[in-house]
Amino acid sequence: MVVGGFQVGIETVPYQVAIFYAGELLCGGSIIGLHWVLTSYHCVSTRIPSDYGIVVGVTNPEADGRKIHVEDFIFPAVTESDKTYDIALVKLNQSLVYSEAVQCIPLLSVHDAIGPGKPAYISGFGFTQDGGAETQLKIATIQVLPWQTCQEAYPSLMRKYLLCAGVTEGQVDACQGDSGGPLVVDGQLAGIVFFGKGCADPNHPGVYISVPWFYDWIVDAARNQSNAENRELCTASKQAL
């Protein structure tokens, strides 16, 4: 669960999903199309569809959720040799039905839109603190941080396709169980929760996969699907209202 922030209902973040592995809540993710969820590769690393279930449209997925089966996973070829390319598409075996509680979120395509100081929103069902679990959906406001701040916090980790976000005094952050979840800027999916040292440590902000950096890969992966419905991804005009 997000550290800091406040509890919300799923209608506030209807693109938020919960990913279950072997029946246990493992990660978050974002609905980006009728058949698609975007998440972190490390959340689905067994790559065995029957190991996973996706829950959408509920505030407490452990109590209320019906698990949707997974058809397939798609990830960059380089991911197997470099795990910092921590991104994966989850293809669902059925089409979602959009409603007030189930909506897609458009992908941010322009990296310049996530400059330092930009307000951003994170959400998730994960831990409330480093090591403490409680399944409640929370959302928090943070901001994109300068590259130099990221580099100083993680000198051996940062890559051009990563960004970091948080608040300078700590106290607000994604935590364990939030991996794969959304970082939202201007109503669009800007990042994927990737890594952090502890939770809400003022010296170690959260690290996120940049969605704009992988935008073309995501679009191409969808366009290569044989079924026309599977090629569609979310745009602002296709969001359920």
Q: What CATH number is attached to the domain comprising 160?
A: 2.40.10.10
pLDDT at 178 over 90: no
The residue from 30, 35, 40, 86 that is catalytic is 86
Same domain, 61 and 87: yes
Between CA 221 and CA 219 the distance in angstroms is 5
Q: 206-210 and 188-195 as β-strands: parallel, antiparallel, unpaired?
A: antiparallel
Same domain, 86 and 142: no
**Structural domains counted in the chain:** 2
Same domain, 219 and 190: no
Cα end-to-end span (Å), the chain: 26
Between CA 81 and CA 154 the distance in angstroms is 20
Does a structural domain hold residue 208? yes
Does a structural domain hold residue 3? no
The residue from 42, 51, 111, 130 that is catalytic is 42
Does a structural domain hold residue 131? yes
Does a structural domain hold residue 144? yes
Same domain, 24 and 64: yes
Same domain, 133 and 187: yes
Does a structural domain hold residue 157? yes
Query: What does the radius of gyration of the chain's CA atoms come to, in whole angstroms?
Result: 16
88-101 residue pLDDT tens: 999 999 999 999 99
The residue from 30, 40, 123, 179 that is catalytic is 179
30 is catalytic: no
Does a structural domain hold residue 6? no
Same domain, 208 and 227: no
Does a structural domain hold residue 8? no
Same domain, 207 and 223: no
Same domain, 180 and 193: yes
Q: Which two tokens stand for residue 109?
A: 């395509």
The SS3 call for residue 237 is: helix
Q: How confident is the model at residue 3, as a pLDDT? A: 52
**Which residues, in sequence order, are CB contacts of 119 under 8 Å at separation 6+?**
141, 142, 143, 185
For the chain, counts of helices (H) and of strands (E): 3, 13
173 is catalytic: no
Between CA 52 and CA 188 the distance in angstroms is 26
18, 80, 86, 107, 226 from 126: Cα distances, Å: 9, 26, 18, 23, 35
Q: How confident is the model at residue 175 (pLDDT cuts 50, 70, 90)?
A: low
Average pLDDT over residues 186-212: 82
Taking residue 19's Cβ as centre, other Cβ atoms within 10 Å add up to 27
147-167 residue pLDDT tens: 899 899 889 888 999 999 987
State the residue range of the domain holding 55.
14-104+214-233
Q: Is the pTM of this model over 0.85?
A: yes
86 is catalytic: yes
State how far Cα 230 lies from the chain centre: 20
Instruction: List b or e across 40-74, with b for residues whose CB sees 16 or more CB atoms inside 10 angstroms.
Output: bbbbbbeeebeebbbbbbbbebeeebeebebeebb
Taking residue 33's Cβ as centre, other Cβ atoms within 10 Å add up to 25
Does a structural domain hold residue 32? yes
Q: How confident is the model at residue 1, as a pLDDT? A: 41
